Amino acid sequence: MIMFNCDYNEGCCQEIMDEMIRTNMEQHPGYSEDGITAEAKALVKKACEREDVDVHIMVGGTQTNMTVISAGLRPYQGVVAPATGHIARHETGAIEAHGHKVLALPETDGKISAEQIERFCADHYRDESFEHIVQPGMVYISSPTELGTVYKRAEIEAIRKVCDKYHLYLFLDGARLGYGLACDENDLSIPFLARVCDVFYIGGTKQGALMGEAVVIANDDLKKDFRYLIKQNGGMFAKGRLLGLQFKVLMQNGLYMKYSRHAIAMAKKIVAGFAEAGIPRYSNSPTNQQFFVMEDGMALKLAENYGFSTEGWTDDTHRIVRFCTSWATKEENVEKLLADIKKLA
């Protein structure tokens, strides 16, 4: 079985493994107060081209999302998000469990626009019974999105303006940030995000680490007492040095982008091969998640040897399938897949 079903099927990249082996029996203080983590944070700040941000390295995405969002909202506020957003759809109500409504807006290719947010907020304050309605307090977007698409610089800047107008925090979920930055469509950068967002994170789990998301807090209001919140949310990792170690490795020598570019190259190869085999794309994702419309019989046949996920159906005999590449995708496996696709098509 060769797996393309997600981007966390393997362990970690060799560089991280080597550093884990090297430092394994060193003694370090717990709870991310160690020297390795300090180095990692310094590297993240450098990547942001800002010394005045706070960096916290957390274990996983859902935990990060719920901690950041509960840091920013008052009890009666909600977070605006695309209906397909991870927090809206795939976190078993973690945000609601923290007391906050996810204010889901209809999405286009996984994205929402400044115009939509503007209209939503304007409507809120125009409503006679606005105090009876959850107040928007934050905007959550991800780039790449759940559908593999990316935001453009101008789109995020426009959202920023609406956030300023309506006093909303802007939070960008970058669980797959590297894959976005490495794609052909990209015009974002880490320093740009550190300027325009109040808070965002650089994903590790899906990008070569065993686990870990590096949260960058740019807005002072969100910095205060953030470690209390991490602990309260069960995210204070005892051996924090491991989180630090992984980002220390990834943030050096261009490793994060090197692995990201590899995933994109593999994804493009899949796109080309599927096109050749006449299998239509479902979205125009430029990143490591690729969606196609596949005839059921072919999908079942292919599933005998390949892992991929079914995301829905377009009609009675055709399904939407997702193939992911990652830092770990072997070119030979892609080639096997394309050969088999060719045979089945």
In the region spanning residues 274 to 313, those forming contacts with a second copy, defined by CB under 8 A, are 307, 309-310
For a second copy, what does the binding mask look like between residues 122 and 141, x meaning CB under 8 A? ------xx-xxxxx------
- In the chain, helix, strand, coil percent, each to 5? 45, 20, 35
Q: How many residues does the chain have?
A: 345
Residue from 147, 177, 199, 229 touching a second copy (CB under 8 A): that is 229
Helix or strand or coil: residue 192? helix
- Shortest reach from residue 264's CB to a second copy, in Å: 20
Span near a second copy by CB under 8 A; candidates 24-32, 113-121, 142-150, 152-160: 24-32
- Of 197 and 242, the one with the shorter C-beta distance to a second copy is 242
Q: Which residues contact 246 (CB under 8 A, 6 or more apart)?
A: 12, 16, 40, 57, 204, 209, 210, 211, 212
Nearest to 183 by CA among 152, 216, 140, 215: 152
Chain centroid offset of residue 237 CA? 20
Contacting a second copy within 25-84 (CB under 8 A): 25-30, 59-63, 66-67, 70-71, 74-76, 78
Span near a second copy by CB under 8 A; candidates 23-31, 45-53, 246-254, 295-303: 23-31
Token pair listed for 36: 């390795």
- Shortest reach from residue 74's CB to a second copy, in Å: 7
- Shortest reach from residue 194's CB to a second copy, in Å: 24
Contacting a second copy within 89-128 (CB under 8 A): 89-94, 96-102, 128
Contact 144, 289 (CB under 8 A): yes
Contact 173, 142 (CB under 8 A): yes
Site size with a second copy, rule: CB under 8 A? 77
Contacting a second copy within 235-264 (CB under 8 A): 235-239, 241-242
**What DSSP assignment string belongs to 313-336?**
EEETTEEEEEEE--TT--HHHHHH
- Shortest reach from residue 266's CB to a second copy, in Å: 14
